[in-house]
Structure 1
Amino acid sequence: MRGIAVKFENDVVVVGGCGHVGLPLAIVLASKSLKVVSFDTNTQVVATVNSGKMPFDEPGAPEVLSKVLQAKRFSASSNKDVVSTAEHVVVVIGTPVDEHLNPDPEVVPNAVAQLADVLKDGQHLVLRSTVYPGVTKLVEKVIADCKKKIDVSFCPERIAEGKAVEELVALPQIISARTADAVERAKKLFNNLTQNMIVVSPEEAEL
Structure 2
Amino acid sequence: MTIRPRLTVIGTGYLGATHAICMAVMGFEVLGVDVDASKIEKLSAGAVPFFEPGLPELLTKALESGRLRFSTDFQEAAAFGDVHFICVGTPQAAGSEAADLRYVDSAVTTLARHLTRRALVVGKSTVPVGTAARLAGLLRELAPAGDAVELAWNPEFLREGFAVDDTMKPDRMVFGVTSDWAEQQLRTAFEPVLAQGVPVKVTDLQTAELVKVAANSFLATKISYINAMAEICEATGADVHDLAEALAYDERIGGRFLRPGLGFGGGCLPKDIRAFAHRAEELGVGQAVGFLREIDGINRRRRARTVDLVVELCGGDVAGKRIAALGAAFKPNSDDIRDAPALDVAATLHRMGADVVVYDPAAMDNARRVHPELCYATNALDAARDADVVVLLTEWNEFREIEPSAMAAVVRRAKIVDGRHALVPASWRAAGWEYRALGRPIVPSAQGAQ
TM-score computed with the length of structure 1 as normaliser: 0.89
Aligned residue in 1 for 2:10 = 15
Partner residue of 1:94 out of 79, 89, 110: 89
Structure 1 counterpart of 2:52, one-letter code = E
Aligned residue in 1 for 2:186 = 186
Unaligned runs of 5+ in 1: 1-6
In 2: Cα distance, 1:73 partner to 1:107 partner: 26
- Give the drift of 1:83: 1.6
Which ranges of 4 or more aligned residues in structure 1 deviate by more than 4 Å?
none
Unaligned runs of 5+ in 2: 211-450
In 1: Cα distance, 2:204 partner to 2:101 partner: 18
Partner residue of 2:118 out of 91, 99, 122: 122
Structure 2 counterpart of 1:184, one-letter code = Q
In 2: Cα distance, 1:106 partner to 1:137 partner: 16
CA root-mean-square deviation: 1.9
Q: Is the 8 A contact 2:176 2:205 kept in 1?
A: yes
In 1: Cα distance, 2:189 partner to 2:63 partner: 20
Q: How many residues are paired up? A: 199
Pair 1:60-2:54 in alignment: yes
Aligned residue in 2 for 1:136 = 132
- Give the drift of 1:190: 2.0
SS of equivalent residue, structure 1 residue 62: helix
Structure with higher helix content: 2
SS of equivalent residue, structure 2 residue 193: coil
Partner residue of 1:204 out of 204, 207, 213: 207
Output one character per residue of 1:103-129: Cα deviation in whole Å (capped at 9) or x when no partner. Answer: 145652343112222123211111110
In 2: Cα distance, 1:51 partner to 1:158 partner: 27
Output one character per residue of 1:67-97: Cα deviation in whole Å (capped at 9) or x when no partner. Answer: 1101101011112222211111111111132
In 2: Cα distance, 1:157 partner to 1:106 partner: 19
Structure 2 counterpart of 1:192, one-letter code = P
Output one character per residue of 1:184-203: Cα deviation in whole Å (capped at 9) or x when no partner. Answer: 21122123323421111111
- Give the drift of 1:33: 0.9
Aligned residue in 1 for 2:65 = 71
More contact order relative to length (CA 8 Å, sep ≥ 6)? 1
In 2: Cα distance, 1:137 partner to 1:109 partner: 12
Structure 2 counterpart of 1:203, one-letter code = Q
Taking the TM superposition and a 5 Å limit, the aligned residue runs for 1:101-116 are: 101-105=97-101, 107-116=103-112
Aligned residue in 1 for 2:316 = none
Aligned residue in 2 for 1:167 = 166
In 2: Cα distance, 1:150 partner to 1:74 partner: 24
Aligned residue in 2 for 1:153 = 152
Aligned residue in 2 for 1:42 = 36
In 2: Cα distance, 1:155 partner to 1:198 partner: 10
Aligned residue in 1 for 2:229 = none
In 1: Cα distance, 2:7 partner to 2:23 partner: 8
Output one character per residue of 1:145-176: Cα deviation in whole Å (capped at 9) or x when no partner. Answer: 12521121100111122211011123211111
Q: Is the 8 A contact 2:86 2:121 kept in 1?
A: yes
Structure 2 counterpart of 1:205, one-letter code = A
- Seen in structure 2, the aligned counterparts of structure 1 residues 106 and 49 have a Cα distance that, compared at 3 Å, is closer
Q: Is the 8 A contact 1:104 1:132 kept in 2?
A: no
Output one character per residue of 1:20-60: Cα deviation in whole Å (capped at 9) or x when no partner. Answer: 00011111110111100100111111111111111111111
Q: Percent identity?
A: 25
- Seen in structure 2, the aligned counterparts of structure 1 residues 205 and 58 have a Cα distance that, compared at 3 Å, is same
Structure with higher strand content: 1
In 1: Cα distance, 2:170 partner to 2:101 partner: 29
Structure 2 counterpart of 1:19, one-letter code = G
